[in-house]
Chain A
Amino acid sequence: AQTVTQSQPEMSVQEAETVTLSCTYDTSESDYYLFWYKQPPSRQMILVIRQEAYKQQNATENRFSVNFQKAAKSFSLKISDSQLGDAAMYFCAYRSADSWGKLQFGAGTQVVVTP
């Protein structure tokens, strides 16, 4: 079974600064997908960014980018120019290519943004 580890329970960042959230995973598969989800206090899970394992290029969505290191099984999320609205719980998730869409989640990292 795959496991996803987020070792940072909480990260604090000042507005306009950059914060990086770490995520590692354990798998023996070669084809899979990785995701970062954001959960604000409203509880709505919002997809932030996704990466296909066979793509070398790191995914980017506006101020959000990932550093995908397949050999190291690492998938970190960088939030640039942090805004107050970025404050939320962030979950890293793994999905096998053929798994009916089942996601395996990490424990989450709470991001606190200070003015």
Chain B
Amino acid sequence: DVKVTQSSRYLVKRTGEKVFLECVQDMDHENMFWYRQDPGLGLRLIYFSYDVKMKEKGDIPEGYSVSREKKERFSLILESASTNQTSMYLCASRGAGSSYNSPLHFGNGTRLTVT
């Protein structure tokens, strides 16, 4: 079974801190994604990566950056955390190809609180 692991389940940070959210997958997937989940808004795509060192902006990239130095690891970075970035963050991965038989596999989420 595919395993997507997010390093923290809960995180509390202060405004202005630099925050790293880590995600690791064990299935050699090319594509990795960071979503943000908020009540009433569903999941919104922040960034995704289709290969090592490659990244693309999603729908809400402002205030975030990402890093993918190794295929299995995709990091989300909040350069200077703000209270409006308090949210649930979900990482996901998927193998290459457009077949719908390759679904997204999600981690268990990191609930980030910025005070």
Contacts and interface: CB of A to CB of B under 8 A. Distances in A.
Contacts of A6: 42
Interface stretch (A12-20, A43-51, A78-86): A43-51
Interface of B: 31, 33, 35, 40-45, 48, 50, 56, 58-59, 88, 90, 92, 94, 98, 100, 102-104, 106, 108-109
A1, A9, A43: most-surrounded residue (chain B CB, <10 A): A43
A17 to B, nearest CB: 26
Contacts of B88: 43
Contact of A101 (B44, B90, B94, B109): B94
Interface of A: 1, 4, 6, 9, 33, 35, 42-45, 47, 50, 52, 91, 95, 97-98, 100-108
Given A42-B108, A43-B108, A50 B48 contact: no
B33 A105 contact: no
Contact of B103 (A47, A52, A91): A47
A100 B50 contact: yes
The dominant DSSP class at the B interface is strand
B60 to A, nearest CB: 12
B5 to A, nearest CB: 12
B106 A50 contact: no
Contacts of A47: 103-104
A98 B98 contact: yes
Given A44-B106, A100-B48, A105 B98 contact: no
Contacts of B43: 91, 103, 105
